[in-house]
Amino acid sequence: MPKVNYEGKTYTLIRGDACLTGTHENPYYEAYAICDTDTADEDGWQPGYTVKWEILEDYNPEEQEEEYACDWDEPMDVLATCEYNATEDRIV
């Protein structure tokens, strides 16, 4: 699975590719992730995160693939937003 570094921590992306979200005036991409240093509890749950990427100013979706939409190595934010169970592949 893809990994990304943010503020000295490494996050592993889960649940596939980043998705376009936000508002029409402020769109961005986001994906769910887990932190490589977090451990699961006795029931298999661990903190889950949302990784956000800013869309590059020179990105033109009509002429370019999504792989060029963001600097995927430089997320703009990582927020603790959920709990993740790897055994069940479940987010709450």
pLDDT in tens, 21-72: 999 999 999 999 999 999 999 999 999 999 999 999 999 999 999 999 999 9
Query: pTM for this structure?
Result: 0.92
Q: Please state, in angstroms and as integers, the Cα–Cα distance from residue 45 to each residue in 41, 58, 77, following that order.
A: 5, 40, 22
Range of the domain at 36: 3-91
What pLDDT does residue 36 have?
96
Kindly give the pairing relationship between strand 77-85 and strand 90-91: antiparallel
- Counted domains in the chain: 1
